């Protein structure tokens, strides 16, 4: 398996800053600091505990998500302008025993479902994009297999070398510019769309966003204020996107 030092560094920084790692490290640092600066150390400790609790609530996860999910699904007029559909990979399910090996993870499957619906509605050709930054089968190959076997949707192009969203855009452009395709329906999670669109526009595309999987409120509001794994995951995903948008703004978003 290839090792990409800069990609690893990016992931390590994100793991140290984003929940759960960030709040935990803040509390631990507070404990160490309390030996020399008791008041400051105690404040940092409780700030870490409190931030962990708050970020783990579905309410906070939904708030952080909502400010990123400001791009709505395309209307019929916008869809008709597209020349192709590009579906971005999200996660892999490695060594799946029921499928006999690597396949798509839950996030990727959600994107494929919506991409398949758009493909059946429009008849547009499909490109799937996703490499293997952690090793195993390139995600695009698993995506192609799932689309064709499980959704009966043909895949015309497979981009299987990208390591992140920036490279999804660059390598997809290299494939589609040869076909004189510039206007695309871009399919990814709603929380990821703002950042993905920036990269694809920068690569040269005219992007018609086709986001899927919007955050939705719980039927029982009271449960939104209890910490859950889902709430923590939503907060981490949203903060990851804000961190990525900041990296774009600062020009430190190189892939490798």
Q: What is the pTM of this model?
A: 0.92
CA 203 to chain centre: 18
Counted domains in the chain: 2
Q: Report the C-alpha gap between 51 and 54 in whole angstroms.
A: 5
Residue 184: predicted pLDDT: 98
148 phi/psi in degrees, rounded to 5? -80, -40
Closest CA to 129 of 82, 188, 206, 177: 188
- Check whether residue 93 and residue 187 sit in a common domain: yes
Q: Is residue 217, in this structure, part of any structural domain at all? A: no
pLDDT tens string 216-249:
766 667 788 999 999 999 999 999 999 999 999 9
Domain containing residue 241: 5-68+223-250
Domain CATH for 184: 3.40.50.620
pLDDT tens string 21-72:
999 999 999 999 999 999 999 999 999 999 999 999 999 999 999 889 999 9
Q: Strand pairing of 92-96 and 101-104?
A: antiparallel
Q: Is residue 84, in this structure, part of any structural domain at all? A: yes
């Amino acid at each position: 398996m290839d090792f990409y030092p800069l990609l690893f560094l990016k992931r390590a920084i994100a793991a140290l800053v984003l929940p759960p790692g960030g709040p935990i490290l803040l509390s631990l640092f507070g404990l160490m600091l309390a030996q020399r600066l008791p008041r400051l150390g105690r404040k940092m400790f409780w700030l870490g505990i409190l931030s962990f609790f708050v970020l783990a609530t579905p309410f906070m996860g939904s708030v952080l998500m909502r400010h990123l999910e400001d791009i709505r699904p395309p209307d019929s007029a916008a869809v008709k302008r597209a020349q192709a559909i590009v579906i971005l990979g999200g996660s892999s399910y490695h060594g799946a025993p029921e499928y006999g090996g690597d396949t798509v993870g839950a996030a990727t499957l959600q994107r494929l479902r919506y991409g398949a619906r758009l493909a059946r509605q429009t008849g547009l050709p499909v490109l799937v994009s996703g490499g293997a930054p952690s090793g195993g089968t390139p995600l695009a190959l698993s995506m192609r297999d799932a689309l064709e076997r499980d959704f009966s949707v043909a895949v015309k192009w497979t981009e299987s070398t990208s390591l992140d969203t920036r490279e999804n855009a660059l390598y997809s452009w290299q494939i589609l510019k040869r076909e004189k395709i510039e206007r695309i329906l871009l399919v990814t999670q709603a929380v990821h769309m703002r950042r993905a669109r920036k990269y694809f526009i920068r690569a040269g595309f005219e992007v018609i966003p086709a986001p899927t999987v919007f955050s939705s409120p719980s039927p029982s509001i009271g449960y939104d204020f209890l910490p859950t794994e889902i709430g923590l995951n939503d907060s981490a995903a949203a903060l990851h996107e804000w961190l990525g948008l900041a990296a774009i703004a600062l020009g430190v978003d190189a892939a490798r």
